Amino acid sequence: MKFIIYCRKSTDTEDKQLLSLESQEQELMQVADSQGLNIVKVLTESMSAKAPGRPIFNEMIAMIMSGQADAILCWKIDRLTRNPVDGGQLQWLLQKGNIQCIQTYEKTYLPHDN
């Protein structure tokens, strides 16, 4: 699988987030190294996910749609999405198999999962 590491830190709740973008990237690179994951790109975004339209998130989706990547590694699932439009898009791509795996620090999501 070809993984994109996606790190996001919201701009509206700076004091509530535990890991900085740099810390997320470091931790996820360690996960990738320990599991031998093929990382094709690291994307970082500093923007709220409460509404659709994040440019870096959209870049990641475009890479998946074009076949440049087929898996995502992120700190927690809420780093990917906090709105129903982006969440639905990710779920659809996972169900269709465009995304083979969404892996977080705690859990792995696969196409056959609900």
- SS3 letters for 26-57? HHHHHHHHHHCCEEEEEEEEECCCCCCCCHHH
Which tokens belong to 41? Answer: 């790109």
- In percent, the amount of the chain with pLDDT more than 90 equals 74
What contacts 50, CB < 8 A, 6 or more positions away? 12, 82, 83
- pLDDT confidence band for 10 (50 / 70 / 90): confident
Cα dihedral value 19, 58, 105, 84, nearest 10: 100
What was the pLDDT predicted at 8? 93
Q: How confident is the model at residue 15 (pLDDT cuts 50, 70, 90)?
A: very low
Please report, as a single letter, which amino acid is at residue 86.
Answer: D
Q: What is the arithmetic mean of pLDDT over 67-85?
A: 93
What's residue 13's pLDDT?
53
Q: What is the CA radius of gyration of the chain?
A: 13
Residue 12 pLDDT grade (very low, low, confident, very high; cuts 50, 70, 90): low
pLDDT of residue 20: 86
